[in-house]
Structure 1
Amino acid sequence: MTAELVRGQNHPLPDTRLEIRVSAGHPVVAGATLCDEQGRMGGAEWIAHPGSPSLPGVEVSQQAAADHRLAVDLEALPAAVHRVSVLLALPAGVGGPARFGAVAAPFVAVTGLDGTEIASYTITGLDRESAVVALELYRRQGAWKVRAMGQGYEGGLAAMLGDQGVERPAELAASILDAVARGLARSVSAPPPRVPEAERVRHTAPVAADHQDAPAPPAADGPIDYAHPRRQTPPEPGPALPPTGYPTPVAGDASGWSMDERLYNQVWGMFEDLARTTAAYRSACDFAESRLDQELDRALSDPRSRIGGAGDAAREAARAKHDELVARAQEALDRDLAQLAAESEVVEPALPAAFARWDNPVWQAYRVPMEVPMAVRLGDLHLPERTDLRIPMLVRLPLERGLWVDSGRGRSEAAGLLDQTELRRLAMDTAVAHAARLLAVHPPGEFAVHVVDPAGSGAGSLAPLVEAGVLAGPPAAGAAGVSAVLAQLTERVDLIQMAMRAGAPDALPPGMDTAERLLIVHDFPHGFDDRAVTQLRYLADEGPAVGVHLLMVADREDASAYGPVLDPLWRSLLRLTPVADDHLADPWVGHAWTYEPPTFPPGSGVLRQVLSQVAETRRQWDR
């Protein structure tokens, strides 16, 4: 029976390897502090938080999320630790509500590794507080218990950390929120639910373990559980199904009102499945390594192992158990990857143009749509466990934030092999591919593209857009051209904002259309003065809400002279790259995914064919 705790109530813990599951209904920051028997902390190294997520025996998420899974191994804690406090805080400064009273009451549960709830607690009674100590795991007379705390703090994360005994809590709180902001900037945003969660059923095969950023290790002597708890009909306990036991994949078998929505949900289901099954595999391997190290240490420290062959036998047994765990994890991973690959082979050819690669035959029969699709494909994502299994990177429309094609080398090995001039050309080619797709998936008259190219260095890449006549005007060059375009779009944002706030959209100037706008900014910051930089920051922050979006082509290092003033600009944009780079994170586990930019088949004329169709349809529409 699960113990449903109220504030102050405690309950014994039967296990030492646990998960603490958090469901908040809105992104929160999760952390944990370790304290000794007197409630004192040993220092900043006794705090697990997004900027430093792992401690001995505790691992927390690296991102703000609505759902968390914290892994706790009480036996692995330092001997001096007698208390583990679980902390939750709203990520103030990165958007969203500023107090818990404005969101649903957070729910926390302590579970075993098999998912069985031991104790749960709904944190009620919060109002102006923006941080709360949710639970406390504490040791009494050699046994561990959990206590429901619910201690809130109006002063937020800094006040809570200070009460926990942290030195310079404001500095630590600021560093944690900065780590959260960086995580949000690099994360691929999860799609909002389109239908109730209970109705989301795709297929029944066990594909992945439902682990969050810190997947818990399997029980020492029990089977590794790879069953996905969101499947409607989970498999009965027993041997894993062979590959032939899976149902035949079908394109569009997710829920949704239309085929496009069903395919969209199916792609995101595949994305989540791959993230979680890989997390389960990595967790199992990490656990096997940790177990091996512990057993080898015990064998070496036992004097009896030095007599005869007992030591060699113990070490051999430990390595055999390690190999068995890894082999079992690899078998489950291979099984799940094979099923996902089979599903991908069925889904990819069935995708509509907005979701399809440029080499998909759907583009050969392309016609300008009459409705805006729910999402657009910006490239592919894959993990190192199987690089040929590509997940379409679908981003919802209208865009919630601008795009940034990074023309710098960064830390990418692929970019480091290229000449800087070639890398900049590829970055602009990638930006043109993104712009062409956005033009292609919008109805005529509902999307326009502006370009600022101060030095005219992007003329070669821009040629397909210019020659097809699909731009809102010639690429703006020189300081005067840049200033004119930025002023025009800034004024547009101001006017639409005022009309929306006044509840009078009819008050817009006569002849002003409300079509979405995309501004391609090339070679930033060369040719941009301080006023232009300020306008770009304004467009990045305020533009998406009124249909004005940025597509920056820039090397961040080139803008280093501006210092931290541009940090909010980079964080507000979704960073993409012209070559493969593992800089994006998924919203469930936080894996580093390798992003592959969109490419056209060698020698293909699909880009000019699509743009000519867009231009012709626009001319007919304007008549």
Structure 2
Amino acid sequence: MTAELVRGQNHPLSQARLEIRVSAGTPVVAAATLGDENGRAQSVEWVAHPGAPVLPGLEVSRQAAANHRLAVDLDAMPAAVHRVNVLLALPMGVGGPVSFGSAAVPFVAVTGLDGTEVATYTITSLDAESAVVALELYRRQGAWKVRAVGQGYAGGLAELLGDQGLPQAHQLATTINDAVVEGLARSVPAPPPRTPEGDRSRQTATSALGPDQSGSPYGTQGGATGPYPAGAPGTQGAGGPYAGTQGAGSPYSGSQGAAGCPDGTSPTDPSATQPASPAAPASGGPIDYSHPRRQNGAPPPPPPTAPPAQPGQPARPVAGDATGWSMEERLYNQVWGMFEDLARSTAAYRSAVDFADTRLERELDQVLSDPRSRIGGQGDAAREAAQAKHVQLVDQAREALERDLAQLTAEADVVEPALPVAYARWDNPAWHAYRVPMEMPMALRLGDLQLPESDPLRIPMLVRLPLERGLWIDSGRTAASDGSFVDSHELRHLAMESAVAHTARLLAVHPADEFTVHVIDPAGSGAQALAPLVRTGVLATPPTAGAAGVADVLARLTQRVDLVQMAVRGGAADSLPPGFDTSQQLLLVNDFPHGFDDRAVNQLRYLADEGPAVGVHLMMVADREDSSAYGPLLDPLWRGLLRLTPVPEDHLADPWVGHAWTYEPPLVPHGSQVLEQVLAQVAAARAKYR
């Protein structure tokens, strides 16, 4: 029976290994402090937060997210710990609500590892507070209980931590917020949370003048075994905080990432709607995104049914085994489900191994501290028993992980060949049947992601279109995934080749008249890599060189952003100049900051910040060290771009757990002509519109 707590009420805990699940409706930071008998945290080492997420018996999320799952093992808590305070705080400086009074009411649940709720608490009566102590787990006469606290702090995380007895509260709050900002900067953009009904939320795409009607729902689901309702119990696989305790189903199904859906728009049919024309009048009120021939709120058709499995065998995977209005959308949701499943399963494995290591260390300490164990063979026997138990726990964890990996690998084997060109690798046969599309897809593949435990399994890195963040192809000193370093000259060339491949894919997946590319190459150092774009004639103008050319291109694009913004805000989209190019714009910049003066640098920052909302996107090929003379002035620019590398490197984070994923760029096979063949078709289609 679940105990629904109110503020101040407590409830006994009969289990030692628990999860604390948080649903906030908006990205929040989840942290926890350990307290002594007086409830005071003795030092910053007693605080688990995104910058230091693991303590003995406790693990919190590494990201700010709308939903969290914190792993707790009360038996592994140090003897000096008598309280565990669960903290929630709104991240500062990343947008979103500044107080809980303007956000959805947070909901916290204490559950067993099987998802069974032990106690729940809805944190009401918050107003100007931006941080809150949600729950307190406390030890009383050898037993543990949970208490609903709900104590909010208008002074934010710093005030809360100070009230916990930490003299370094302000410094720690700054450290936590910096870790959150850094985590968001390197995170793969996540789908928004599901709607309360369990259906996919739908975020609308943004055209040159704001929202259009081409959005598609993009949430996550249990990729390997099909979709689950949000919050459905009993759907975890090895993705629980300790592996080996659940079945082989989809781990942590129903958990969402850091990006939130800005509204509650109803589902629409992406195949039956077109992007809004930039000449469409802007509206100050809500937009109805419902399909005119579909009743509002109607659920999408069910996913395809998997073939019957042999008795005792898992269900055979099916491509498109997810909800969605089209196969493209189903495959998108399925890939994101696989991504989340792998993140959760690996988190479970690592947490289980960490638990086994902690237990072994504690048991060995007990053996060494007991003088009686030194007599005869008692000590040796105790050590052997502890080590045997450690091996058993690790083997159980590995077995559960291997089971999930086998299921996900089988799913990847059927999903990869079924992907449309926007999601497909360059070696996919789908590119041989390429035709210039009539509408923009919902997402684009920017490469592949993998974890050390999952090799050789790769998860496609799909990012929504139009791009919400610019791209930064890092041409600086980069350590490859094998630990080797690439020559700096070769790395710059590889970075430009990677940028050209990304640009070609963007051109290929857009209608011929809806995507325009400008290139700034001040010193002409990227001429060799840019040759396919120049030779096929897909660029709006030849690559711009010299400081004067840089100033001209930036002036035209910043003027475009200003015009469109004024048209949107004034509701006068029809007053744009005749012949105004309404297509999405991409500015590819090579060798930054060469050829850039202070004015040009400020214009570039402006485009990076304001451009995506009005259809002007940025792709930079740059070494951050080259711009070190600007100091912290450019830090917001680098943080605002999604960093990609031309060689495999483990620098990207998932939006659920925060693992360091190895990113692999989407390379064109050596000797293949697929890129130039695709660009030639794009150029031929573009010529018809000129």
When normalised by structure 2's length, the TM-score is: 0.84
Q: Cα gap change, 1:224/1:230 in structure 2, threshold over 3 Å: closer, same or farther?
A: closer
Q: Cα gap change, 1:288/1:414 in structure 2, threshold over 3 Å: closer, same or farther?
A: closer
- 1:115-144 Cα distance to aligned partner (Å, 9 max, x none): 332211000111222111111222333332
| 1:597 and 2:665 aligned | yes
| 8 Å Cα contact 1:208/1:273 also seen in 2 | no
| 8 Å Cα contact 2:517/2:588 also seen in 1 | yes
1:200-215 pair list within 5 angstroms: 204=225, 209=237, 211=239
| 8 Å Cα contact 1:578/1:597 also seen in 2 | yes
Q: Secondary structure at the match of 1:621?
A: coil
Work out the CA distance in 2 between the residues paired with 1:511 and 1:244. 65
Q: Cα gap change, 1:516/1:31 in structure 2, threshold over 3 Å: closer, same or farther?
A: same
Work out the CA distance in 2 between the residues paired with 1:320 and 1:562. 57
| 8 Å Cα contact 2:248/2:403 also seen in 1 | no
Work out the CA distance in 1 between the residues paired with 2:406 and 2:670. 29
Once the two structures are aligned, what percentage of the paired residues are identical? Answer: 72
Work out the CA distance in 2 between the residues paired with 1:340 and 1:207. 16
Q: Cα gap change, 1:562/1:471 in structure 2, threshold over 3 Å: closer, same or farther?
A: same
Residue of structure 2 aligned with 1:331, choices 377, 399, 403: 399
Work out the CA distance in 2 between the residues paired with 1:297 and 1:96. 47
- Larger deviation, residues 288-297 vs 562-571: 288-297
| 1:315 and 2:383 aligned | yes
Q: Which residue of 2 aligns with 1:137?
A: 137
1:363-382 pair list within 5 angstroms: 363-382=431-450
Work out the CA distance in 2 between the residues paired with 1:40 and 1:332. 38
The residue type equivalent to 1:152 in the other structure is G
Work out the CA distance in 2 between the residues paired with 1:411 and 1:398. 30
Q: Which residue of 2 aligns with 1:84?
A: 84
Q: Which residue of 1 aligns with 2:636?
A: 568
State the Cα distance separating 1:491 from its structure 2 match: 0.8
Q: Secondary structure at the match of 2:468?
A: coil
- 1:483-524 Cα distance to aligned partner (Å, 9 max, x none): 000111111111111111112211212211221111011011
- 1:339-381 Cα distance to aligned partner (Å, 9 max, x none): 2112111111111110001111111111100010000111111
Work out the CA distance in 2 between the residues paired with 1:527 and 1:8. 63
Work out the CA distance in 1 between the residues paired with 2:90 and 2:631. 28
State the Cα distance separating 1:202 from its structure 2 match: 5.5
| 8 Å Cα contact 1:53/1:60 also seen in 2 | yes
Q: Which residue of 2 aligns with 1:7?
A: 7
State the Cα distance separating 1:417 from its structure 2 match: 2.7
Work out the CA distance in 1 between the residues paired with 2:451 and 2:382. 36
Work out the CA distance in 2 between the residues paired with 1:415 and 1:313. 41
- Larger deviation, residues 334-343 vs 292-301: 292-301
State the Cα distance separating 1:163 from its structure 2 match: 2.5
Work out the CA distance in 1 between the residues paired with 2:225 and 2:492. 46
Work out the CA distance in 2 between the residues paired with 1:172 and 1:583. 24
1:190-229 pair list within 5 angstroms: 190-192=190-192, 197=198, 204=225, 209=237, 211=239, 216-217=241-242, 223=245, 226-228=248-250
Q: Cα gap change, 1:203/1:30 in structure 2, threshold over 3 Å: closer, same or farther?
A: closer
| 8 Å Cα contact 1:226/1:280 also seen in 2 | no
Work out the CA distance in 1 between the residues paired with 2:310 and 2:143. 42
| 8 Å Cα contact 1:583/1:593 also seen in 2 | yes
| 8 Å Cα contact 1:401/1:574 also seen in 2 | yes
Q: Which residue of 2 aligns with 1:149?
A: 149
Work out the CA distance in 2 between the residues paired with 1:22 and 1:513. 46
Work out the CA distance in 2 between the residues paired with 1:287 and 1:457. 52
| 8 Å Cα contact 2:241/2:347 also seen in 1 | no
Q: Secondary structure at the match of 1:385?
A: helix
Q: Which residue of 2 aligns with 1:179?
A: 179
Aligned length: 608
State the Cα distance separating 1:224 from its structure 2 match: 5.5
| 1:303 and 2:376 aligned | no
- 1:552-602 Cα distance to aligned partner (Å, 9 max, x none): 101111111111111111110000000000101111111111111011112
| 8 Å Cα contact 2:223/2:341 also seen in 1 | no
The residue type equivalent to 1:197 in the other structure is G
Q: Which residue of 2 aligns with 1:93?
A: 93
Q: Which residue of 2 aligns with 1:27?
A: 27
Residue of structure 1 aligned with 2:335, choices 267, 273, 279: 267
Work out the CA distance in 2 between the residues paired with 1:138 and 1:319. 31
Work out the CA distance in 1 between the residues paired with 2:102 and 2:478. 40
| 1:277 and 2:278 aligned | no
| 8 Å Cα contact 2:236/2:248 also seen in 1 | yes
Work out the CA distance in 2 between the residues paired with 1:387 and 1:201. 20
State the Cα distance separating 1:435 from its structure 2 match: 0.4
Q: Cα gap change, 1:216/1:223 in structure 2, threshold over 3 Å: closer, same or farther?
A: closer
- 1:439-496 Cα distance to aligned partner (Å, 9 max, x none): 0000011001101111110000101001111111111111000000011111111111
Q: Cα gap change, 1:111/1:319 in structure 2, threshold over 3 Å: closer, same or farther?
A: same
State the Cα distance separating 1:270 from its structure 2 match: 1.2
| 8 Å Cα contact 1:63/1:590 also seen in 2 | yes
Structure with more of its chain in helix, by fraction: 1
Q: Which residue of 2 aligns with 1:238?
A: none
State the Cα distance separating 1:383 from its structure 2 match: 1.1
| 1:504 and 2:505 aligned | no
- 1:91-120 Cα distance to aligned partner (Å, 9 max, x none): 121111112122221011122333332211
| 8 Å Cα contact 2:446/2:461 also seen in 1 | yes
Work out the CA distance in 2 between the residues paired with 1:535 and 1:481. 14
| 8 Å Cα contact 2:238/2:401 also seen in 1 | no
| 8 Å Cα contact 1:519/1:551 also seen in 2 | yes
State the Cα distance separating 1:168 from its structure 2 match: 4.3
Work out the CA distance in 1 between the residues paired with 2:380 and 2:553. 75
Work out the CA distance in 1 between the residues paired with 2:415 and 2:23. 32
Q: Which residue of 1 aligns with 2:551?
A: 483
1:525-536 pair list within 5 angstroms: 525-536=593-604
Q: Which residue of 1 aligns with 2:229?
A: none
State the Cα distance separating 1:45 from its structure 2 match: 2.2
Work out the CA distance in 2 between the residues paired with 1:558 and 1:613. 37
Work out the CA distance in 1 between the residues paired with 2:378 and 2:54. 35
Q: Which residue of 1 aligns with 2:301?
A: none
Work out the CA distance in 2 between the residues paired with 1:399 and 1:78. 47
The residue type equivalent to 2:184 in the other structure is L
- Larger deviation, residues 66-75 vs 296-305: 296-305
| 8 Å Cα contact 1:415/1:579 also seen in 2 | no
Tell me how large the CA RMSD over aligned residues is: 2.3
State the Cα distance separating 1:414 from its structure 2 match: 5.5
Q: Which residue of 2 aligns with 1:470?
A: 538
When normalised by structure 1's length, the TM-score is: 0.93
| 8 Å Cα contact 1:224/1:329 also seen in 2 | no
